[in-house]
Amino acid sequence: MKKNVVLFVLFVLPIVAYLFFASGVNSFTKLPTLKTAVAELPDWKTTVKQPVKLTGKITVIAFPGAQLLKHRGNFFNLNEKIYRRYFEFKDLQFVYVCPTETQDEVAAIFTALKPTTNLSGYKTVFASQEEIKRYFESYGITEKLDSYAGTDKVFLIDKDRNLRGRKDDDEYKEGYSTFYPSELSNEMLDDFKILIYEYRAALKKNLPKRQI
C-alpha cells in the first residue's frame, strides 16, 4: 500500500495537476469589464478601403501619439510579444489611432516590420491630435493621453465594445504598457488568453459547426 501511495504521489499526481492547469483555469474565469460600450471609432482616414470599426471584433487598440518614431520600440515590443502569436485569429484586429501628421512615420515602421511579419492584422486610422484626445476622453478612464495625443498603453476591447482589464484594487489595469516587454509577456498575455478563450467558448456554444 505504501508503495502504491508513493508511486501515486510521484507520477500520477503531477500528471493530474498538469492536465488541470493545461486545460485552463481560465475556463472558470472571465476577464472583468471596466467600461461598457466605449465609443465606436469615427469614420477617420484609414490605411484600408473600409472604415475601421470596433463592433464585432476583438480589438487591441493603441494611441502612439505624434512622437511615434521616438517610441517606435513600443511597436516592436507588441509585435513580438502578442501580435505575431495571434494575428491569424479570426475576428481579431490590432488598431493604431495615429495623428494625421505621422502617416509617413507609420509607413516606415510597418515597412521595417514587413520582412519578418505578416501585417494583415494591423489597421491604422488617422485624425488630428485634438480629435484623438476627444475620442480617448470619451472612454472615461483614469489613463490620459500626453500632450502629443499618445500613451504607451494598449487596451483590450471586446466585440461588444467593452473595455476589459483587471478590476482588483491591488492590480487594477485598464491598459498594458508596451514599453515593458515583461508586462506584455505576463499580464497582457494572460488576460488576452482569457478574452480569446471567452470568445471561443461562446462561439462553440452558439455556432458549434463554425470553424474557429
At a CB cut-off of 8 Å and minimum separation 6, what does 155 contact? 60, 61, 62, 163, 165, 174, 175, 176
- Does this model's pTM top 0.85? My answer is no
The pLDDT of residue 13 is: 55
Residue 208 lies in a domain: no
Q: Tell me the one-letter amino acid at 211.
A: Q
- Residue 212: C-alpha distances to residues 47, 91, 195, 199 (Å): 26, 9, 14, 10
Q: What is the DSSP letter of 158?
A: -
At a CB cut-off of 8 Å and minimum separation 6, what does 121 contact? 83, 86, 87, 88, 92, 93, 94
Residue 19 lies in a domain: no
- DSSP strand pairing (163-164 vs 176-177): unpaired
Residue 95 lies in a domain: yes
Residue 39 lies in a domain: yes
The pLDDT of residue 35 is: 96
Number of domains in the chain: 1
Mean pLDDT split into 10-residue runs, the chain, 212 residues: 54 51 50 96 92 96 95 96 93 97 96 95 97 98 96 97 93 95 96 93 68 46
Residue 130 lies in a domain: yes
Residue 89 lies in a domain: yes
The pLDDT of residue 171 is: 87
Residue 58 lies in a domain: yes
Question: Which domain covers residue 99, as residue numbers?
Answer: 33-202
CATH of the domain at 178: 3.40.30.10
The grid coordinates listed for 132 are 484623438
The pLDDT of residue 10 is: 56
Residue 10 lies in a domain: no
The pLDDT of residue 12 is: 52
